[in-house]
Structure 1
Amino acid sequence: MDPFYQNIASFPTLFFTLLLALTAVYWLVAVLGVIDLDVLDVDMPEGDADGGVHQLAGLLLKLGLNGVPLTIVISLLALFGWFICYFAVYLIFPYIPDGFLEYIVGLPILVGSLYGAVLITAQIIKPLKPLFANMNKNTVKNVLGQTAIVRSLRLDSGFGEVLLADGGAGLIFKARTMNNETFKKGDRVVLLQYLKDQHAYRVISEAEFLQ
């Protein structure tokens, strides 16, 4: 087998190869509107949030991985972890005998690669945090009452995204309907209310809004 393919398909690089493949599939299906773009996002919890959410949010904050969508964080971790792990394996494994010893050496390489990826990702997203915070504050004021197009395969009270024309590539928002209504891709809806706890907009049909 080619050394490149052997390295990316064996431990420990395989861990990051699979993670990188999963993130690629995620972005593909998200762009197609099958799932929400920020389906994995974790907010800093308040009040009686689930303990697991508290722990995960606290860990992200401690590592400096908060303030941007979690999907971006995971994608960057996968990418940088893959590069670090691949080159570590490429440089070290030729001197390691085949067999169980590769797993013993591979484990610290895996941990070290993940740690290095966390450090790099934290530095890269640091200047992006204010951009995401300001973008959300300014956007809410400007889009309420505007008409958007459903971009996901469906839009209901628990799932869906809309595309709002802004003169450029367009803005994509999570959206939720009222009274268990359901819309399909291409329907026109109006953004009525921002749901802070869900980071989504409550919408109604354009026809109902104009009545």
Structure 2
Amino acid sequence: MDEFIAAIVSFPTVVFTVALLVVGGYWVLALIGGIGSDMLDAAAGKIDGAVDAMAGKVDGAVDAMAGKVDAVAGKLEGATGKLEAVGGKVEGAAGGLSLLAALGFGKAPATVVISMLVLFAWALSTFATLMLRDYGVMAMGVHVGIAFGAVVVAGMLTGLIASALGNAFKRHRPIGRGELVGKLATITTGRVDERFGQANLHEDGANLIVDVRCATPNALVRHTRVVLVSYDAEAHYYMVEPFESKDSIARP
């Protein structure tokens, strides 16, 4: 037990231990309703969008750059070298976006992807540290190698699991005609305002997750029943209002 404690509070595992404590604290707050379980997704949605939206722009930039390089290659060899260098940077950006996609961003919620990545890296680093201590290997270079290897392997495992669970986390965007308007749904986030909120509802045997908004102040919290009153086809979200049953309305 002492060796285990020493391993998780020493470099490199201590880095992952701190990250794991942060992730654990996040999920505790999410479970007790202190924050919405998709709070990080609201911020990480930009990353997920970049994987799809920017990938096309990067590919177009690479193709355009390649065309320019071919056009001036015969006349301006020096300029060609510079353009190739810029093209390499553009391709590097595309590689970065591909890495995010490989980790599972866009296939599973960012909160789940980050949590799995941290948990796997922590477990791998702890195991490797304990194993190498038994053999008396304590060099700093080895510890750096453990950290790097743990992140790489954790990333591979996270990507595989996120891909396998992709269908389970698949979000069904409401259709543009707003056919779900008038349906009842249940709030799944800790709050709902003009910029944030989600709810789920059952339609034709499917459990749908939809983005919702509501003017503030309001009393909407997790598990509140609401009515989808209108649909924004451009922003892909529903405006909602608290649901009051006929019985509750009839009571004095």
**What stretches of structure 2 of length at least 5 have no aligned partner?**
58-93
- 3-state DSSP of counterpart to 2:169: helix
Whether the aligned pair in 1 keeps the contact of 2:36 and 2:191 (CA below 8 Å) is no
Separation in 2, partners of 1:153, 1:62: 30
Verify: 1:9 aligned to 2:9, yes or no.
Answer: yes
Question: For each residue in 1:32-62, what CA deviation from the matched residue of structure 2 results, as whole angstroms up to 9, or x when unmatched?
Answer: 2222222222322347x9xxxx997553124
Which amino acid counterpart does residue 4 of structure 1 have in structure 2?
A: F
- Spell out the pairing of 1:1-211 with structure 2 (5 A cutoff): 2-41=2-41, 42=45, 43-45=48-50, 46=53, 57-96=97-136, 101=139, 103-133=140-170, 136-137=172-173, 144-150=181-187, 154-162=191-199, 174-178=211-215, 180-185=216-221, 188-193=225-230, 201-206=238-243
Query: Greater CA radius of gyration, 1 or 2?
Result: 2
Q: Structure 2 CA distance, aligned partners of 1:29 and 1:197?
A: 32
Q: Which amino acid in structure 2 is aligned with residue 31 of structure 1?
A: L
Q: Sort the Cα spacing of 1:171 and 1:129 in 2 relative to 1 into closer, same or farther, 3 A.
A: closer
Stretches of structure 1 lacking an aligned partner (at least 5 in a row): none
Q: 1:138 to 1:194 in 2, by over 3 A?
A: closer
The alignment of Structure 1 onto Structure 2 pairs a total of residues equal to 196
Change in 2 beyond 3 A, CA 1:193/1:94: farther
Q: What is the CA-CA distance between 1:3 and the residue it aligns to?
A: 0.6
**Structure 1 residues 193 and 124 mapped into 2: Cα distance closer, same or farther (>3 Å)?**
farther
Contact residue 174 and residue 210 of structure 2 kept, 8 A: no
Q: Distance in 2 between matches of 1:91 and 1:13?
A: 13
C-alpha displacement of 1:24:
1.5
Q: Give TM-score, length-normalised by structure 1.
A: 0.71
CA–CA distance in structure 1, aligned partners of residues 3 and 233 of structure 2: 50
- RMSD of aligned residue pairs (Cα, Å): 3.8
CA 1:200/1:33 → structure 2, altered by over 3 Å: closer, same or farther? farther
Alpha-carbon distance in 1 for matches of 2:39, 2:96: 15
Change over 3 Å in CA distance of 1:193–1:96 after alignment to 2: farther
- Paired residue type of 1:27: W
For 1:104, give the aligned amino acid. Answer: G
| Aligned mates of 1:109, 1:196 — CA distance in 2 | 49
Contact residue 34 and residue 152 of structure 1 kept, 8 A: no
Distance 1:70 1:88 in 2: 27
Q: How far 1:127 sits from its partner (Å)?
A: 2.1
Q: Among all aligned residue pairs of Structure 1 and Structure 2, give the percentage whose two residues are the same amino acid.
A: 32
Distance 1:122 1:191, change over 3 A: same
Q: Distance in 2 between matches of 1:60 and 1:196?
A: 28
Which residue number corresponds to residue 74 of structure 2? none
Residue deviations 1:57-78, cap 9 Å, x none? Answer: 5531244543111111111112
Code of the residue aligned with 2:227 in structure 1: it is V
